[in-house]
């Protein structure tokens, strides 16, 4: 058994319910971010188009973008409520890296 640090234990190779939930939420976030990219691209293309409904389409895409960005924010909040390490990174309590310093060894064993 392996301790997860919060009083829970699980066997190696078996995801906890929290880990399964995080995986699902991250997949959802990935899909939402893909839609945001798609709508941003479509908005840029259509805003330069010359057809009668172009303005209406762009306006609708703006509303869809806003809704997707709100969904992304909600998903990030949910993920952060479960994943303490990630939450700490968002709050600046994680191990911070200097953006200009790459190629150095970190205490936790990875390189940039």
Residue 39 token pair = 């709508």
Residue 19 token pair = 């880990």
pLDDT value at position 18?
93
Residue 17 pLDDT > 80: yes
Residue 36 pLDDT > 80: yes
State the burial class of residue 32 (Cβ atoms within 10 Å of its Cβ: 0-12, 13-18, 19+): buried
Sorting pLDDT into bands at 50, 70 and 90, what band is 37? very high
The H-assigned helical ranges of 48-82 are: 54-82
Question: Per mean pLDDT, which range of 10-19, 24-33, 56-65, 99-108 is the poorest?
Answer: 99-108
Q: Report if pTM > 0.95.
A: no
50-56's contacts with Cβ under 8 Å and 24+ in sequence apart are none
Higher pLDDT, 105 or 20: 20
Q: How far apart are CA 25 and CA 76, in angstroms?
A: 8
Higher pLDDT, 19 or 12: 19
Q: How far apart are CA 101 and CA 27, in angstroms?
A: 31
User: What are the extents of the domains in the chain?
Assistant: 15-82
């Amino acid at each position: 058994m392996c301790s997860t640090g919060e009083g829970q234990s699980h066997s190696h190779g078996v995801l906890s319910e929290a880990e399964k939930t995080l995986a699902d939420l991250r997949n959802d976030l990935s899909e939402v971010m893909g839609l945001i990219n798609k709508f941003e691209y479509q908005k840029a293309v259509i805003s330069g188009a010359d057809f009668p409904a172009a303005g209406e389409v762009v306006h609708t895409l703006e509303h869809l973008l806003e809704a997707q960005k709100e969904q992304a924010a909600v998903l990030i909040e949910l993920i952060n409520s479960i994943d303490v390490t990630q939450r700490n990174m968002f709050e600046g309590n994680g191990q911070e890296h200097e953006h200009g310093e790459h190629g150095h060894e970190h205490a936790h064993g990875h390189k940039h």
